[in-house]
């Protein structure tokens, strides 16, 4: 047992410090995250006047687990459907703010003479406002029911998703040390493909699994099964060179669509709170007070950059959505802080060994200061609006007034509905086909070749693959062709008919390409022969009623699983 003593002593010290600071900061009515950071500073190796941890590697391991639980819990609170329900306003505002703040962070880092990777990671850290801190501030100030608060919380949800994407991009840049556009596009495409693939498979499989074993699920069993699924996705994400936290978030977002989402969240919360506390304490342990004193000027510059940047880009982003100057100022003044994701991104840079030692404590100091000023910034929004309305010209005030959303024509609404449904289904079917091709070529075919070598092995693999993907090829060509929107536009005629025929032709060409790719995996014949096989295959698929029944069956299961939670609440 002697080898466990340092681990137990460190854990005892961490939890005692965290407990004491939690009580203190609760009494002070301050965010508990700041208390954990202070606890980390007290328990860290940089203060000799207090007891310190013995083995920091164990603490790092626990903090990595903490990040996994934090992202899993975030995924449980998130739903991919929320993004589609948010509309363009939230997306425009969030993307404007994040892109603008990344530029601010990179510019500030360059002004300080820091390395390229330090600047890029700083840009990612300052781009994300703190959901926890803003939520608490709104609650304390009784603002959560205000219209601007709802917009800000929607922006924060989308920022959390963008933060996950940034983590993947920064990891790719750190490993390759290359910022070429082609490589970056490839990394983002790979990430998008795997997100959609995991989500499609997860929504199809996991709700079915949970329904089958629901009668066996006590709280203990549900917790173990949920964490087992979470860590299986963590391992899967790591196996394809993604962040483990990314895999935890994806699994959480999949389970958020199940009936058991609230129950799982309730069961996971205590575990998340424990390891989350250890994570934030570990953040404080990396803070060297002497380092903060040495870099006080960059800290002040970064704080100024965050405040000014959020006021400029936050106001601009909301104004672009047509919400008006008042809501824009109230939103932007709320976002002038950084929090959890800044620590996670900073930890990512440290674990990859691509950022400087000073960056972590600098960002923590910035987060602490901006957290304390958040309530005061929120209160300054309305006085700033009153000041501007008194001094800005009347034509400017009128131009910045809230804009009414124009009501589109009936035909335009039909096109929006048709293209949205058509594109969504085509993307899903393409991902399923590409994933099936990859699984067959990389995993199943080598085993078939062991038992049936030569041309017959390739024939069997090809026939199996085509049998699986043919219903989805048919669905790509035929989806929405008999929908109300399609038939209504067809009856209207004119240019609409030309556009509708074009959508069918494009989908037919896409299906043709996918069929040819499937044949090419096993037989590198001439293009003419492969093209002829693909055309015959698709024509047979279109004419076959069984193919339609198969895809309809899969669609019904997928949509039922996807909407089961909403239907239950309704």
Higher pLDDT, 4 or 194: 194
Of 54, 65, 53, 16, residue with least CA distance to 36: 16
Across the range 345-360, mean pLDDT stands at 85
Across the range 525-533, mean pLDDT stands at 85
Report the pLDDT value the prediction gives residue 367, as an integer from 0 to 100: 87
For 324: left if phi > 0, alpha if psi spans -120 to 50, otherwise beta; the answer is: left
Composition of the chain by helix, strand, coil, percent to 5: 80, 0, 20
| CB-based contact 431:200 (threshold 8 Å) | yes
Report the pLDDT value the prediction gives residue 227, as an integer from 0 to 100: 92
Q: How far apart, in whole angstroms, are the C-alpha atoms of residue 369 and residue 373?
A: 7
- Matching residue, tokens 């895999």: 247
Of 29, 101, 31, 88, residue with least CA distance to 332: 101
Higher pLDDT, 538 or 4: 538
pLDDT, tens digit (0-9, with 9 covering 90-100), for 168-225? 788 877 766 555 556 666 666 777 778 778 888 888 888 888 888 888 888 899 999 9
Residue 332's CB: how many other CB atoms inside 10 A? 28
Residue 570 has pLDDT above 60, yes or no: no
pLDDT, tens digit (0-9, with 9 covering 90-100), for 104-144? 999 999 998 898 889 989 999 999 888 878 877 887 778 87
For 293: left if phi > 0, alpha if psi spans -120 to 50, otherwise beta; the answer is: alpha
Q: How far apart, in whole angstroms, are the C-alpha atoms of residue 335 and residue 312?
A: 11
pLDDT, tens digit (0-9, with 9 covering 90-100), for 134-164? 877 887 778 877 878 888 888 888 888 888 8
Of 343, 346, 299, residue with least CA distance to 170: 346
The whole-model pTM stands at: 0.78
| Helix intervals (H) in 112-180 | 116-126, 131-140, 147-176
Residue 131's CB: how many other CB atoms inside 10 A? 20
Residue 329: half-sphere exposure toward Cβ, Cα within 13 Å? 16
Report the pLDDT value the prediction gives residue 182, as an integer from 0 to 100: 63
- Matching residue, tokens 């601007």: 148
Residue 479 has phi, psi (to 5 degrees) of -60, 135
Q: How far apart, in whole angstroms, are the C-alpha atoms of residue 83 and residue 154?
A: 9
Query: Could you tell me how far CA 541 lies from the centroid of its own chain?
Result: 36
pLDDT, tens digit (0-9, with 9 covering 90-100), for 380-406? 999 999 888 888 888 877 777 776 655
- Matching residue, tokens 């998130």: 78
- Matching residue, tokens 């969030």: 94
């Amino acid at each position: 047992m002697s080898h466990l003593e340092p681990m137990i002593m460190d854990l005892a010290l961490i939890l005692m410090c965290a407990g004491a600071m939690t009580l203190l900061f609760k009494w002070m009515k301050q965010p508990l995250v700041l208390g954990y950071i202070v606890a980390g500073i007290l328990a860290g190796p940089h203060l000799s006047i207090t007891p310190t941890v013995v083995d920091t590697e164990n603490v790092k391991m626990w903090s990595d687990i903490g990040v996994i639980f934090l992202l899993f819990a975030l995924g449980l609170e998130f739903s991919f459907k929320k993004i589609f329900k948010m509309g363009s306003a939230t997306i425009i505002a969030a993307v404007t703010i994040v892109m603008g703040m990344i530029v601010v962070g990179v510019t500030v880092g360059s002004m300080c003479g820091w390395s390229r990777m330090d600047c890029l990671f700083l840009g990612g850290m300052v781009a994300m406002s703190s959901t926890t801190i803003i939520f608490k501030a709104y609650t304390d100030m009784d603002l959560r029911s205000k219209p601007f608060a709802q917009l800000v919380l929607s922006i924060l949800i989308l920022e959390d998703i963008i933060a996950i994407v940034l983590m993947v991009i920064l990891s790719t840049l750190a490993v390759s040390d290359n910022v070429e556009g082609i490589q970056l596009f490839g990394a983002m495409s790979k990430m998008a493909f795997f997100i959609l693939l995991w989500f499609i498979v997860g929504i199809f499989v996991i709700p079915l699994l949970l329904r089958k074993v629901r009668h066996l699920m006590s709280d203990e069993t549900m917790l173990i099964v949920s964490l087992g699924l979470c860590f299986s996705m963590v391992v899967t994400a790591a196996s394809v060179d993604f962040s483990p936290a990314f895999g935890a978030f994806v699994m959480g977002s999949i389970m958020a669509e199940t009936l058991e989402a609230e129950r799982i969240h309730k069961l996971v919360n205590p575990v998340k709170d424990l390891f989350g506390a250890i994570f934030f304490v570990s953040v404080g342990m990396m803070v060297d007070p002497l380092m903060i004193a040495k870099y006080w000027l960059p800290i002040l510059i970064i704080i100024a950059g965050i405040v000014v940047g959020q006021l400029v880009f936050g106001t601009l982003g909301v104004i672009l959505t047509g919400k008006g100057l008042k809501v824009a100022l109230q939103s932007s003044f709320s976002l002038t802080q950084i929090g959890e994701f800044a620590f996670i991104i900073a930890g990512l840079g440290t674990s990859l060994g691509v950022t400087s030692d000073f960056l972590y404590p600098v960002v923590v100091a910035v987060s602490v200061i901006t957290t304390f000023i958040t309530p005061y910034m929120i209160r300054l929004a309305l006085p700033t609006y009153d000041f501007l309305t008194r001094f800005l010209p009347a034509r400017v005030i009128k131009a910045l007034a809230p804009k009414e959303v124009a009501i589109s024509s009936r035909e335009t609404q039909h096109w929006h509905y048709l293209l949205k449904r058509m594109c969504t289904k085509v993307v899903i079917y393409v991902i399923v086909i590409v994933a099936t091709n990859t699984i067959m070529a990389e995993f199943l075919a080598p085993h078939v070749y062991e038992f049936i070598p030569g041309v017959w092995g390739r024939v069997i693999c090809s026939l199996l693959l085509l049998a699986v993907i043919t219903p989805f090829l048919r669905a790509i060509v035929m989806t929405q062709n008999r929908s109300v929107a399609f038939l209504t536009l067809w009856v209207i005629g004119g240019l609409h008919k030309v556009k509708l025929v074009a959508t069918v032709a494009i989908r037919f060409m896409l299906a043709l390409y996918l069929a040819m790719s499937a044949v090419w995996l096993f037989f590198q014949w001439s293009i003419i022969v492969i093209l002829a096989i693909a055309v015959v295959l698709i024509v047979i698929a279109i004419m076959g009623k069984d193919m339609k029944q198969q895809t309809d069956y899969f669609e019904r299961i997928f949509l039922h699983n996807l909407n089961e939670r909403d239907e239950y609440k309704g």
